Amino acid sequence: MPTKSTPAGDHTELAYQRRLPLSTQTLSFLTGLLGAHLKKIRSRWRKLATGRITVIVLAALRHDQRLADLAGGNNVSRTTVDRWLKEMIELLAARAPRLERVLAKIAREGGSVVLLDGSLIPTRRQTGLPMKRHWSAKHKRHELPIIALTDIHGRLLWTSTARPARGSEITACRHDDLVGRLREAGSAAIADLGFVGLDDATGDPAVITGYKRPRGKKLPPAKKLVNELIAAERAVCDHAFAHLKNWRVLTKLRLDVKWATRLVRALMILTQHEIAR
């Protein structure tokens, strides 16, 4: 039966502009980092200029723009943008310091206290047995916990490996032997009640936490005061994670989970440059 509807005409693709709220210092740093890498590997040609590639990658990280949309607006393929993004993540993550160097630097500067906290990164639901380890029964979603150390001013110093959500924050700290490394460096960490039991030492603990209220009882005024003092010192941790999660790519991770650790460490480096301007 012949149709009477008129065929659709040619569709028109439109490209729109969006503001990227980042400093010139961050853009210059990332452009220089990419330029030095291209010179090192002797890459003589790229589809776009180095500065344009940097802007595309920052748009993907800051606004969580879809790679296909970024590719269409810049006349390149999606796989090309994906390759640029992962290349930049690896370059930035390689600059993230190791835990021993962070603690040694704090000791050289005369400090002895860091702030310990954890956060969760929601991930896209995927099928298969390995993804069951990333299911959080508490929050009813797939996610990856990370542990971070900040200084007393709330600046991110170190982030841990992103581990499966079925383990607790204490388990993640024990994987990195955080207590042992703090003792070796002569440092101590202030943490919230979620880390109670991480350090069982009574004389000179490496991880200082508050007091949990016993079931059916009330905390004495002295212990309440201790909890208030610890909470006041740890308030800057929330600012540190807020700066990190301004990168909306962490709103819901769509990359493969094996990139989660490198992504968080790359964003930590970008955050340090952004808030230090």
Q: What is the pLDDT of residues 30-84, one digit of tens each?
A: 999 999 999 999 988 888 999 999 999 999 999 998 899 899 888 899 999 999 9
Question: What's the confidence (pLDDT) of residue 1?
Answer: 44
Q: Which residue has the tokens 């860091």?
A: 114
- Report which secondary-structure segment, H or E, holds 86: helix 78-93
Residues 108-143 pLDDT 10s: 888 788 999 988 888 876 655 566 777 776 767 778
183 in Cβ contact with 206 (< 8 Å): yes
Give dist(CA 69, CA 50) in Å, integer.
19
Give dist(CA 68, CA 231) in Å, integer.
44
Give the CA angle between residues 89, 94, 97 to the nearest 5°. 125
- How long, in residues, is the chain? 277
Region 232-240 average pLDDT: 88
